[in-house]
Amino acid sequence: MDDTQKWPEIEKAAAGKRHELVLQGPAVDKRIASNGGLASAIYSLTLLNYLEVSQCPSLTEIHEDIQQLTNLQSLILCRNKLASIPNVVDSLKSLKVLDLSVNNLKVLPEGITLLKELNTLNVSCNSLEVLPEGLSQCTKLSTINISKNHISGLPADFCSERLDLLSTLVAADNRIERLTGEIHKLAALKVLDLSNNKLSEIPFELSDCSKLKDINFKGNKLSDKRLEKMVNGCRTKSILDYLRGRGRGRQGEDGGDPDGGRGADRVKRQHQRRKKEELEAEQDEVEELNKTIVRVLHVSDAPTALTVKVSAELKDVRPYLVCCVLRGMHLKHGNALKRFLVAQTKLHDDLCGRRTTATIATHDLELIKAPLVYDVRPPTELKIVPLGRKEMTAVELMRHLQLEADELRKQKKRQNVTGLHKYLQILQGKALYPCLVDAEGHVISFPPITNSEKTKIKKTTKELFLEVTSATSLQTCKDVMDALIVKMAELNKFTAEHQEEQGSDGEESSPRAAGREISSELIVQQVRTVDQDGNLKVVYPSKTDLSSDVSNITVIW
């Protein structure tokens, strides 16, 4: 029988009839090792709709009793050492998100193909050689990540009209030798990454995917050397145009209909494309004019550039950090600040996995006293003025938040809580807490919980200091920062195009009312992160960052 005293998280979830449970990190891993696996009591928490067990190398298997958690909508089992997943996973009929990334899986259970509600599947960084036949039965799939495996080909039924919601397919760093021309049946496909595989051809039918915005075929030895050169340097539209032209050429060479019905279908598609070409050309010109410019200011061009020193003690706490400075963001006009804060919250909930994967903090640069140190402190010694609160220690803050969470549950008679209360479990069991400290010794950020009232951004903020931390990886920080900057560029453009005559706080007038136009251009200034000896750890953004083909953003280095 499990010693439930060793699993207070499970005990609290059962007593509080909670719907979410997160178990992660060294302390949990130690208990899994001594227990020979997860506590069996976890499988009795039938009210759970979100379960995460991550970063536990001692976790090598999941018991078949997982089938009892029939209300699960999200199952996150990443960064463990799982060698197999029980086939009874098909009992989880409500499952929408399944993350099995960074494990030791060699096969996936056939039961996955019966998950009718599944919309996100991440099995990247495993040892998979094949995917189960029948994935097209999961008709609500919108995102699939199978990168960094040993997969030699997609299932025969994968490129099916049944997967008409699939918008993102990431299959980089595999052994895929062929991409079928049936790829055009994935009508909603927007992102396709097949970089670093063994492809020799790219089917011209790919150009029929009308919503495709981002493709990556780098690292494949293509027989068409001109095309190979293009995929290593050109944008998505140029590649698709080339494939489209090559398809026309083949149609002309074929003359007849050697492929039977496929030839007729191809003629029909070509005719439809020709009708769209003039309109698309006009739209492309408009899009080019409407692109937002993001300029990168190099450290060498800014003698007063910020540097952040990272303590070695963060290694087992929350070691990864990237920062940058952003200028040109318009927060004063109308609801611009509110829109930005809402967007940041959405990034936290989605891309950042409710802050379990990464955490964003934004500061008013003018209120920061440099240089900065990313450090650790015991909970009793970490003092901060949390957003909207008085100064207190981390222990006091966590206690206040827990009491508020309990009170909210009583008042609203529900198990889910909102705001900062959702993130309490992330630091559970840690002896040291991460913090960003300014030159005067003030803690300006306490990830993943809150940042300080002292550096809070306001409508009058002109320059922002952006910070992303993670316990997962440096690349995770970069990906989140990329997404944050792209979102800020989009919001800035919206603000520039919709300059409200009057703000909700009664501000006098907009630039447009005064006869002025505001620019949507953003400037991102690089920030160096160094170790205690001053050796460079990372500079963000580097040339490899902000490189995704985002249709409405142009990055100038």
Residues 395-423 have pLDDT tens digits of: 898 888 888 777 776 766 555 444 555 56
Q: Quick check: 501 pLDDT over 50?
A: no
Cβ contact 314:374 at 8 Å: yes
For 246-255, 370-379, 422-431, 534-543, which range has the lowest pLDDT when averaged over its residues? Answer: 246-255
**Token pair in block for residue 139:** 């008709």
Return the closest-CA partner of residue 389 out of 322, 453, 462: 453
Residue 508 has pLDDT above 60, yes or no: no
Q: Are 332 and 487 within 8 A, CB to CB?
A: no
Burial class (CB in 10 A: 0-12, 13-18, 19+), 86: middle
With CA atoms as reference, report the closest residue to 74 among 44, 95, 93: 95
Yes or no: say if 339 and 493 are a contact pair by the CB < 8 Å rule.
Answer: no
Q: What's the one-letter identity of residue 225?
A: K
Cα 163–Cα 165–Cα 170 angle in degrees, nearest 5: 80
CA 40 – CA 321 distance, rounded (Å): 36
Q: With contact defined as beta carbons under 8 Å apart, do 537 and 374 qualify?
A: no
Nearest to 386 by CA among 431, 423, 439, 415: 423
Beta-sheet strands, E only, within 143-221: 143-145, 168-170, 191-193, 214-216
Instruction: State both tokens at 515.
Output: 């006869």
Sign, CA torsion 479/437/305/496: positive
CA distance 363 to 375: 18
Give the tens place of pLDDT for each residue, 228-281. Answer: 888 887 677 888 888 888 766 555 444 444 444 555 566 566 566 555 554 554
Tell me how far apart the alpha carbons of residues 134 and 542 are, in angstroms, rounded to a whole number: 41
pLDDT of 502 over the 50 cut: no
pLDDT at 557: 61
**Dihedrals phi, psi of 123, to nearest 5 degrees:** -125, 25
Please spell the DSSP secondary structure of 243-285, one letter per residue: HHHHHHHHHHHH-S-TTTHHHHHHHHHHHHHHHHHHHHHHHHH
In this prediction, residue 357 has a pLDDT band, given cuts at 50, 70 and 90, of: confident
Q: Helices in 360-441 by DSSP H: which ranges? A: 394-412
Longest dimension (CA), the chain: 80
Nearest to 169 by CA among 152, 201, 147: 147
Cα separation of 124 and 543, whole Å?
Answer: 25
Instruction: For 108-263, list the strands marked E by DSSP.
Output: 120-122, 143-145, 168-170, 191-193, 214-216
Hey, which residues does 271 pair with through a beta bridge?
Answer: none
Hey, CA dihedral for 249, 250, 255, 256, is it positive or negative? negative
pLDDT for 417 equals 46
All domains of the chain in start order, with CATH? 1-127 (3.80.10.10), 146-252 (3.80.10.10), 292-556 (3.50.40.10)
Number of helices and strands in the chain (H, E): 8, 23
**CB-CB contact of 117 with 97 (8 Å):** no
203 DSSP β-pair partners: none
Q: For residue 115, what are the CA distances in angstroms to 82, 111, 135, 349?
A: 20, 7, 9, 23
pLDDT the model gives residue 494: 84
**What tokens appear for 185 in the block?**
């049946």
Question: Mean pLDDT over all residues of the chain?
Answer: 83
- Angle, alpha carbons 349-120-96 (nearest 5°): 80
pLDDT recorded at residue 359? 92
- Residue 258 has a pLDDT of 43
Q: What does each C-alpha distance from 198 to 123, 171, 180, 267 come to in angstroms?
A: 20, 12, 14, 30
The per-residue pLDDT for 351 is 85
Stated as kind and residue range, the H or E segment containing 30 is helix 26-35
Tell me the mean pLDDT in the region 176-185.
93
Least confident of 2-16, 314-328, 337-351, 445-459: 2-16
In contact, 217 and 199? CB cutoff 8 Å = yes
Is residue 8 within a helix (H) or strand (E), and if so which, with residue range?
Answer: helix 8-15
Q: Are strands 359-364 and 463-470 parallel, antiparallel or unpaired?
A: antiparallel
Digit-coded pLDDT (tens) for 468-497: 999 888 889 998 999 999 888 888 888 887
Report which secondary-structure segment, H or E, holds 33.
helix 26-35
Asked if residue 317 has pLDDT above 50, the reply is yes
Percent of the chain with pLDDT over 70: 81
Q: How would you classify the pairing of strands 450-451 and 443-446?
A: antiparallel
452-476, pLDDT tens digit by residue? 999 999 999 989 999 999 988 888 9
> pLDDT class for 511, splitting at 50, 70, 90?
very low
Indicate the pLDDT class of residue 380, thresholds 50, 70 and 90.
very high
Mean pLDDT for 152-164 is 90
Q: Which of 31-35, 326-330, 506-510 has the lowest mean pLDDT?
A: 506-510
Q: Which of 15-29, 275-289, 433-447, 449-463 has the lowest mean pLDDT?
A: 275-289
pLDDT category of residue 1 using cuts at 50, 70 and 90: very low
